[in-house]
Amino acid sequence: MNTTAHAPAASSASGEAAPAGATPTRGAGMRRPRRGSHSSQWAAWAFLAPVVLYLGLFYGYPLYRNVDLSLRAYTVRSFVQGGAPFTGLENYRKVFDDPTFTPALVHTVLFTAVSLMFQYATGLALAVFFAQHFRLSATLRALFLVPWLLPLIVSASTWSWMFNSDSGIVNTALGWTGIGSVNWLTSPSWSLTSVIIANVWIGIPFNLVVLYSGLQAIPAALYEAAALDGANAWQRFRRITFPLLKPVSAITLLLGLVYTLKVFDIIWIMTRGGPTDSSTTFATWSYRLGFGNLLPEFGPGAAVGNVLVLIALVFGLVYIRTQRKQAES
């Protein structure tokens, strides 16, 4: 006798009984697993992995090493072999108590602020000028990119020759006008001014390119309507151009700030931070502490570098916060 119980046959949609051995079909309300979503997530992670790896290797790890350097008493031997003792914030205290800290801070602020002001003002004026699309506009705009394309060591060496006290072309031109020669690179009163002039010259093309691109995004109909209302050139610039360029101006100034804070090669080639620390900034001071002496001080040098990174990070967060507020409003 067969004791196996047979399950009742499931009825079909038409009311007929299905065969006893048939497999029940998937109901209309049951959904199939979304295999495509998992594959797309894996594809997204695959594309993201090289970026994450690059940022970790070339940004995250060097930053970690720099922080570690600033918290330990490294010597040349321990730098190579390891085993440097942990000293906490001792290197930072040493940096803040150093007599060079205050002059370096003042020079960094002056170098950055004056460079940004003249780079942005000159770049904006040139961008507005070239936006008129006159004849040879493209050719002249390309020539203005030359300082940006040259290697910095070439630009700095050229400015060093131009500012030479004895045979420089700048003093020669001043002699033609009846003005006496100036010790641009060897006078504590003029060394910082000299490197600022060179840095402004190098940074103007970047501001020109970015601001000129921003001007192209402003609709020409706005200028036409303002001209019909009787607005002159200055009123059109003040009421249309400058307000609509604010987002582009913000990112231009932020990138210029981050770049100018870390400028090292121009100053080091032209003045080496001297004479008597008259053109020393945080960037040159950090290098001089870590690599510019016979007995390098890796810990204090890394501490100065971290202070510079922190300053740039603060300005970056301020920019992000400002942009977020503008987007919400």
Neighbouring C-alpha atoms within 13 Å toward the C-beta of 274: 5
Tell the burial category of 40 from Cβ atoms under 10 Å away from its Cβ (0-12, 13-18, 19+): exposed
pLDDT at 125: 94
pLDDT at 116: 96
pLDDT at 13: 40
Question: Smallest Cα–Cα separation from 260: which of 117, 63, 102?
Answer: 117
| Residue 161, C-beta contacts closer than 8 angstroms, at least 6 positions apart | 167, 168, 169
What is the tens place of the pLDDT at every residue in 194-209? 999 999 999 999 999 9
pLDDT at 37: 67
pLDDT at 31: 55
At what angle are helices 298-328 and 246-261 packed, to 10 degrees?
Answer: 180
Which residues in the chain land under pLDDT 50? 1-24, 26-28
Question: Smallest Cα–Cα separation from 281: which of 261, 296, 301?
Answer: 261
Max distance between CA atoms of the chain, in angstroms, equals 129
CB 250 within 8 A of CB 326: no
pLDDT at 36: 57
**Chain centroid to CA 217:** 23
Burial 130-160 (b: 16+ CB within 10 A, else e): bbeeeeeeeeebeebeebbeeebeebbeebb
pLDDT at 1: 44
